Structure 1
Amino acid sequence: MNSAQVDAYLDRIGAEHPAWPTVDVLRELHLRHLRTVPFENLSIHLGEEIVLEEKRLIDKIVRERRGGFCYELNGAFGALLRALGFDVTLLAARVYGKDGRLGVPYDHLVLRARTVDGGDWLADVGFGAHSHYPLAIGERGEQADPAGVFRVVEAGADPAGVRGGGASAEFGDLDVLYGGTPQYRLEMRPRVLGDFVSGAWWNSTSPVSHFVRSLVCSRVTEDGGRITLSGSRLTVTAPDGRKEAADLASDAEVLEVYRERFGIELDRVPTVRKADRHG
């Protein structure tokens, strides 16, 4: 990234250019990103190509003022952090399904960020409802966050942190837990953006991928809650977890919510094809 791109990205998320890549700066950038850049899969349902190249990702998020899913959001955010002096490594993860099984390889892209004042952090602005702040990779106890309680444990450990059980694991892999439930398995080997092409292709084309079968556009709100538009259903979640949902009556209302609540300008409403929805 050049200096103009960095300045434009920082302006996109409402942040000042930091003096040093410290943990406090990382925390601020992480939260601002979640508040301003939506987690969304609209490209899949608008027929837009998803290209895992740094310039294309930055153009989409900064110039086009769109969001994306994990490969796009964490790919672009990693480029920004690296340009600001953070030591950033791309890591692959496999997401746990509701049945406790792990998803396909390269199912998720996560960032490992190191700061000048010490610390090794798991930064993830591309998992939808997740931690508002980076998680300490080396910490094995509970990590309190505005979104809830998280833990990073050795892969295959039970929620109490005791090794054993769970899906098969490689040495050094980690499980990220939210409220005691495993969210994804993190592989600690360094990756490059091109490694994730197969995972992005599968998640954006497979009829069994939940990204193909549904629509989502979501971001953290300024009060620490969340706002989500799924098709024509708008859900506002308060910081205490209370939800208010409403069904929008027309395409015009849907487009207005995309514009006013997410900053996304669309000329048509994305829709999930029936064949995609039902398989």
Structure 2
Amino acid sequence: MNSAEVDAYLNRLGVDRPAWPTVDVLRELHVRHLQTVPFENLSIHLGEEIVLEEKRLLDKVVGARRGGFCYELNGAFGALLGALGYEVALLAGRVYGGDGRLGIPYDHLALRVRTVDGGEWLADVGFGAHSHFPLALEARGAQEDPGGVFRIVEAGPDEAGVRGGHQVPEAADLDVEMNGRPEYRLETRPRVLRDFVAGAWWQSTSPASHFTRSLVCSRVTEDGGRITLSGRTFKTTAADGTKEERELGTDEEVLTVYRERFGIELERVPEVRKAVA
């Protein structure tokens, strides 16, 4: 990233260029990213190509002021952090399903970030409802966050995975838990962006992927709550957990919510596309 691209990215987040790549700056960048850049899968249903190349990600997230899913959001955010002087590694994860089974390899992309004032941090702005702030990667106790109580633990062989024929995890693998439930299993070996191309292709084309079967656009609100547009259902969750939802009747209502609540300008309402088996 060149200096102008960094400034444009920071401008979108509403953050001044930091003097040093510290933990406090990382925390601010992380939560501002969640508040301003939506987690969304609209490209899949608008027929837009998803390309895991730094320039294309910046064109989408910064130039077009769109969001994306994990590969795009954490890919772009990792590039920004690297340009600001952080030491960043891309990490591959596999997401736990509702049945306790792990998803495909390269199911998820998260970031390991080292700061000048010490420590390693798990930064993840691409998992939907998750931690608002980076998690201490080396800590093994409970970490309280506005998004919930998180814990990073050494991964062990889960029964569902063994039954499914998966290999016992490497000793370095970590499980990221939220409110006592495992969210994803994280490898600690650094990867490069192109490693995730097959995973992104599967997520955006397979009938088995939940991204091809539903529409989502979601972001954290400034008061610590969350707003989500799922198809035509607009949901508001306050910081205290209070929830409200309403159905949007017309296309104009849907486009207005995308524009006014998520900052996304669309020419037409996206509709779930039928995935090809």
CA contact (8 A) 1:225 1:237 kept: yes
1:203 equivalent in alignment to 2:189: no
Secondary structure at 2:271 match in 1: coil
Work out the CA distance in 2 between the residues paired with 1:103 and 1:165.
14
Work out the CA distance in 2 between the residues paired with 1:242 and 1:267.
32
Deviation at 1:241, TM superposition (A): 1.2
Identity %: 74
Secondary structure at 1:254 match in 2: helix
**Match for residue 107 of structure 2?**
107
**Match for residue 134 of structure 2?**
134
Deviation at 1:165, TM superposition (A): 6.1
Deviation at 1:276, TM superposition (A): 4.2
Deviation at 1:105, TM superposition (A): 0.3
CA contact (8 A) 1:207 1:276 kept: yes
Summarize the alignment of residues 5-154 of structure 1 with structure 2, pairs less than 5 Å apart: 5-154=5-154
Deviation at 1:242, TM superposition (A): 1.3
Letter matched to residue 21 of structure 1: P
Deviations 1:133-187 (A, max 9, x none): 0000100000000111000000128xxxxxx867431111000000000000000
Secondary structure at 2:75 match in 1: helix
Q: Any stretches of 5+ residues in structure 2 without a counterpart?
A: 162-167
Deviation at 1:60, TM superposition (A): 0.3
Secondary structure at 1:125 match in 2: coil
**Match for residue 220 of structure 2?**
220
**Match for residue 165 of structure 2?**
none
TM-score normalised according to structure 2 size: 0.96
CA contact (8 A) 2:255 2:268 kept: yes
Work out the CA distance in 1 between the residues paired with 2:245 and 2:103.
30
Work out the CA distance in 1 between the residues paired with 2:91 and 2:196.
10
Work out the CA distance in 1 between the residues paired with 2:241 and 2:191.
35
Summarize the alignment of residues 173-192 of structure 1 with structure 2, pairs less than 5 Å apart: 173-192=173-192
Work out the CA distance in 2 between the residues paired with 1:153 and 1:225.
27
CA contact (8 A) 2:101 2:160 kept: no
Work out the CA distance in 1 between the residues paired with 2:24 and 2:6.
19
CA contact (8 A) 1:111 1:124 kept: yes
Aligned length: 271
Letter matched to residue 125 of structure 1: V
Q: Any stretches of 5+ residues in structure 1 without a counterpart?
A: 158-163
Work out the CA distance in 1 between the residues paired with 2:234 and 2:105.
32
CA contact (8 A) 1:156 1:166 kept: no
**Match for residue 160 of structure 1?**
none
* Superposed CA RMSD: 1.3
